[in-house]
Amino acid sequence: MMKSWLEKRADLSPDKVGLYCNKNVWTFREMEEEATVLAEKIWPYLKNQMPVALLITNQPQSVFLIHALQKIRVPVLMLNNRLTYEEWQYQLKDSQAQLVIYEDRFGIEADSAVSIDELKQSERKKLTAFDSQDVCSIMYTSGTTGNPKGVIQTYENHFASASGSAFNIGLDPEDIWLCAVPLFHISGYSILMRSVVYGIAVRLYEKFDEHEMNNDLVNGKGSIVSVVTTMLQRLLDVKSDRYHSFFRCMILGGGPAPLHMVERCHSEKIPVYQSYGMTETSSQFTTLSPADASRKIGSSGKPLFPGEMKIADQDGGKCAVNEIGEILVKGPSVTRGYLNNESATNEALTDGWLKTGDVGYLDHEGFLYVADRRSDLIISGGENIYPAEVESVLASHPAVREAGVVGKKDEKWGEVPVAFLVMADQVKSESLEQFLRERLAGYKIPKLFMFVEELPRNAAGKLVRRKLKKEIDHESF
Amino acid sequence: MMKSWLEKRADLSPDKVGLYCNKNVWTFREMEEEATVLAEKIWPYLKNQMPVALLITNQPQSVFLIHALQKIRVPVLMLNNRLTYEEWQYQLKDSQAQLVIYEDRFGIEADSAVSIDELKQSERKKLTAFDSQDVCSIMYTSGTTGNPKGVIQTYENHFASASGSAFNIGLDPEDIWLCAVPLFHISGYSILMRSVVYGIAVRLYEKFDEHEMNNDLVNGKGSIVSVVTTMLQRLLDVKSDRYHSFFRCMILGGGPAPLHMVERCHSEKIPVYQSYGMTETSSQFTTLSPADASRKIGSSGKPLFPGEMKIADQDGGKCAVNEIGEILVKGPSVTRGYLNNESATNEALTDGWLKTGDVGYLDHEGFLYVADRRSDLIISGGENIYPAEVESVLASHPAVREAGVVGKKDEKWGEVPVAFLVMADQVKSESLEQFLRERLAGYKIPKLFMFVEELPRNAAGKLVRRKLKKEIDHESF
């Protein structure tokens, strides 16, 4: 029985602050005590080594719960709290989760579920030895097929990701990492892992507020910040004072930054590391350093040490410099596969190389340019929306014959989904929306429905979303 | 086929300086070019995946050779260049090395050996694919049994060691690590690994010279330095100016520092991290931070993240706080065993826990105090001397009946070996010395021979070196 990372960290730096949230502060020792109590309360609920699901928001107790499950060494299934009840049920069933622990605000019925309030009132039972289990966390992502798949993240994956990031941006033992991204995403979860691995504090925000974060950056409350493009834009919109000298850099996810944003950051002396990564790579996989940002506009940089990347053509051969193909990644931060889904795992992974489904090229210096994310992935306010998933729900409506979903540029969210529909019967948009609302998270619901005679398809009958996208980009709404 | 660490590093930071030596400078790209040429020249000599031995001194070309062997992904056997011909032969045979590459100053005869000068004149042959091989390096260490054993160090071991060190002392992308310790030791070899993993430069010294290093520290030529106690003492002896603000810290190996040294460093504002580690842990395993140095005199600190340590009693049970027992270590930097030596591996390793053979205790805060190194290990100028090994060579002399070897305190070297001998026939010290000189490295040869009637032994007939040591400490020579 090995110690959990938090326990090990608490041994090393017991009196160092590990967590800030609102006006509260916890040392690593105090965090370890909180996690131990929770672990001893969860323990009696467990029957086996199957995953335990967490349905939580960004709260200190969520941090302690995550560490409590690492103490028990049972994999945690991080449920996206913006999904619908039906989407949660899919993940719980598919992952064969043995227990759901949920914040009281989320009502959930499952064979085995306990609210955090109930949990807190239950008895503690001293932990005994349990088998080592190298799966740390599971997060579902939808592929191009429409069926969400559970990405397996091992301790090694998280450790390699944390190391690679430190070797890239350096590490100051006094660093504080600001976390306003969701803990159930790899973007937030990976910050918690870095905190215990590095021995640095996290400042956790219940939700992102540009004024609050701006104040904290001006007042020296954080040295590193994880943001997506929309968050960075909102931060720039409210910025008037200089950030404190304690601030070191921003890690920007969710696609490369537009030129004007790069220029603004450069003139404001905000070092931004643009990154490319996904649930399958346990967070950022490539980053573009601020030094390279202006000469490599649109690039996502180079793979973190010791990750490797190659671009493959349709036959799996290696593409030449500047030639577009599928992006493949390999390294210790890359997932070993999808939970309970051998066929998807075999399809995605060959000799450790993971097909990302994204398309791009490497320039002559090895810098990555992502041409198309997962072919048709829509990124809205930092959330991934897979068109195939929304299309499959739309097509399940009795009045819908065919559906095609693409992203439309949006000033606030980056992109929003738009649906093209071939109808069997007439139906109102409101009724369609109601139907979707029961089955899909709000951010996935198309903001616009376009009723058409037919959808563009290629010779093999496959939907050509590129053509829909062209249509959208030329329309003005 | 994965890229070597150097190749990966050269992809990431091609124009960054990776190596300084004398007045010369190499970027990571230039180092990669040097390593590629050497790899392509070594490649035709290889027949299989067995180790290749290096017999080198601290030279830039040694650095390139080490990386060349990593490119080919064949394990490197690092030969200690201070050993005798006979000791080298033992290691070459035991490790089944397929080739020795040696600097011309060391004549060596082996079935397959090539001098570096010859190698440089041989043809290049383009590398083709080769099997992955996770053993990175092999270093021999003598145990208490007297027979040297080849410690297996994997890439994972080195990576974990490098990460743990960075999480401990932080990492500045501009760091320069000063290396005046031997590359064939884990102390020097691990600096090369950190350099490519972190992307920082090494400043290599052909040999340690306190004046040269003092100048470099005063003039901002290095930020981190690895030293052993004798080196630190010599540095303090010549120090007059303040070190440059670029200097960050010293990593001190080879036993805890004496109080006066800790106090001197504190008053001179030299942050010293005292460490405890061994070949089997791929470098430092515990460190004592400068902040704790004065309140924990004599301690070697706590294990680096995520390593673990426990103290075991004679039955393998866990010792209480402050109770002395054998030191056991576990974690990703710990060796998976000894080369071609299953019995030694099984004896040393249980469930990933390695018995260090060292004796010590943990205090109530988890700080390690080493009571006795490998029971009777002698550390002389940073080199380990195992009494059992010297005794066994002494006992092989026809005139010697029994031998006992212990360390005696020495102002310059820390300790020097002293031999107690029970003779069968009379023999002169000079003749004994000559006999030893053919079989043992110079630093292992006793500086004094004491002729006695009998050796102290316990009920089981086992030599009680402790009593010899007491005798030595009370003598004045």
Chain B residues touching residue A10 (CB < 8 angstroms): none
| Interface contact flag, B197 A305, Cβ < 8 Å | yes
CB of A208 within 8 Å of a chain B CB? The answer is no
CA B65 to chain centre: 19
Query: Which B residues 139-178 touch A at CB under 8 Å?
Result: 159, 163, 166-167, 169-173
Residues in chain B: 477
Strand-pairing partners, residue A154, are A135
CB-nearest partner of A8 from B169, B199, B306 = B306
Q: Among all residues of chain A, which has the CA nearest to that of B330?
A: A2
Q: Is the ipTM of this complex over 0.90?
A: no
Contact B311, B320 (CB under 8 A): no
pLDDT (tens digit, 0 to 9) for every residue of chain A, 477 residues total? 578 999 999 999 999 999 999 989 999 999 999 999 999 999 999 998 899 999 999 999 999 999 999 999 999 999 989 888 888 998 999 999 999 999 998 978 777 999 999 999 999 998 877 666 789 999 998 655 567 889 999 999 999 999 999 999 999 999 999 999 999 999 999 999 999 999 999 999 999 999 999 999 999 999 999 998 889 989 999 999 999 999 999 999 876 677 788 889 989 999 999 999 999 999 999 999 888 888 888 889 999 999 999 999 878 899 999 998 899 999 999 999 999 999 999 999 999 999 998 888 999 999 999 876 655 778 888 887 888 788 878 888 989 888 899 999 888 888 899 999 999 888 888 889 999 998 888 999 999 999 999 888 766 566 778 788 888 876 544
- Please state, in angstroms and rounded to a whole number, the distance separating the CA atoms of residues A30 and A25: 9
CB of B134 within 8 Å of a chain A CB? The answer is no
| Interface contact flag, A170 B170, Cβ < 8 Å | yes
**pLDDT at residue B411, as a whole number:** 83
Q: At what angle do helices B5-12 and B60-72 cross, to 10 degrees?
A: 110
**pLDDT at residue B255, as a whole number:** 65
Q: Among all residues of chain B, which has the CA nearest to that of A15?
A: B365
Q: Among all residues of chain B, which has the CA nearest to that of A1?
A: B351
Percent of chain B topping pLDDT 70: 95
- Please state, in angstroms and rounded to a whole number, the distance separating the CA atoms of residues B427 and B399: 7
Residue owning tokens 């190698």 = B119
CB of B285 within 8 Å of a chain A CB? The answer is no
Q: Among all residues of chain A, which has the CA nearest to that of B156?
A: A332
Q: Among all residues of chain B, which has the CA nearest to that of A364?
A: B11
Condensed to tens digits (0 to 9), the pLDDT of residues B354-387 reads: 999 888 999 999 999 987 665 577 888 888 788 8
- Mutation choice for A interface testing from B167, B176, B292 by most A CBs within 10 A: B167
Q: In what order do the strands lie in the sheet with B283-288?
A: B24-27, B17-21, B201-204, B176-179, B224-228, B249-253, B272-278, B283-288, B302-303
CB of A424 within 8 Å of a chain B CB? The answer is no
CB of A296 within 8 Å of a chain B CB? The answer is no
**pLDDT at residue A477, as a whole number:** 46
- Please state, in angstroms and rounded to a whole number, the distance separating the CA atoms of residues B116 and B114: 6
CA distance B365 to chain A (A): 8
- Please state, in angstroms and rounded to a whole number, the distance separating the CA atoms of residues A136 and A156: 9
| Interface contact flag, A170 B172, Cβ < 8 Å | yes
**pLDDT at residue B477, as a whole number:** 46
- Reading the block at residue B196, the tokens are 């490519």
Chain B residues touching residue A248 (CB < 8 angstroms): none
Give every CB contact of residue B13 below 8 A, 6+ residues apart in sequence.
B28, B199
Mean pLDDT confidence for B38-66: 94
- Please state, in angstroms and rounded to a whole number, the distance separating the CA atoms of residues A445 and B287: 54
Query: Which B residues 429-448 touch A at CB under 8 Å?
Result: none
**pLDDT at residue A391, as a whole number:** 85
Q: Among the listed ranges A397-406, B68-77, B254-263, B414-423, which one has the minimum average pLDDT value?
A: B254-263
Higher pLDDT, B462 or A297: A297
**pLDDT at residue B70, as a whole number:** 93
Q: Among all residues of chain A, which has the CA nearest to that of B329?
A: A2
**pLDDT at residue A353, as a whole number:** 95
- Mutation choice for B interface testing from A136, A167, A295, A363 by most B CBs within 10 A: A167
Task: Give chain B's mean pLDDT.
Answer: 90
List the domains of chain A with CATH numbers.
5-133 (3.40.50.980), 158-372 (3.40.50.12780), 378-474 (3.30.300.30)
**pLDDT at residue B476, as a whole number:** 47
Mean pLDDT confidence for B7-17: 93
**pLDDT at residue B421, as a whole number:** 93
DSSP codes joined into one string, B113-145: EEEHHHHHHSPP----------EEEEEEEE-TT
- Mutation choice for B interface testing from A1, A159, A163 by most B CBs within 10 A: A163
CB-nearest partner of B11 from A2, A172, A302 = A302
Chain A residues touching residue B197 (CB < 8 angstroms): 167, 305-306
**pLDDT at residue B232, as a whole number:** 92
Which amino acid makes up residue A403? A
CB of B336 within 8 Å of a chain A CB? The answer is no
CA distance A308 to chain B (A): 8
Chain A residues touching residue B330 (CB < 8 angstroms): 2
CA distance A180 to chain B (A): 24
| Interface contact flag, B305 A2, Cβ < 8 Å | no
Chain B residues touching residue A166 (CB < 8 angstroms): 163, 166-167, 171
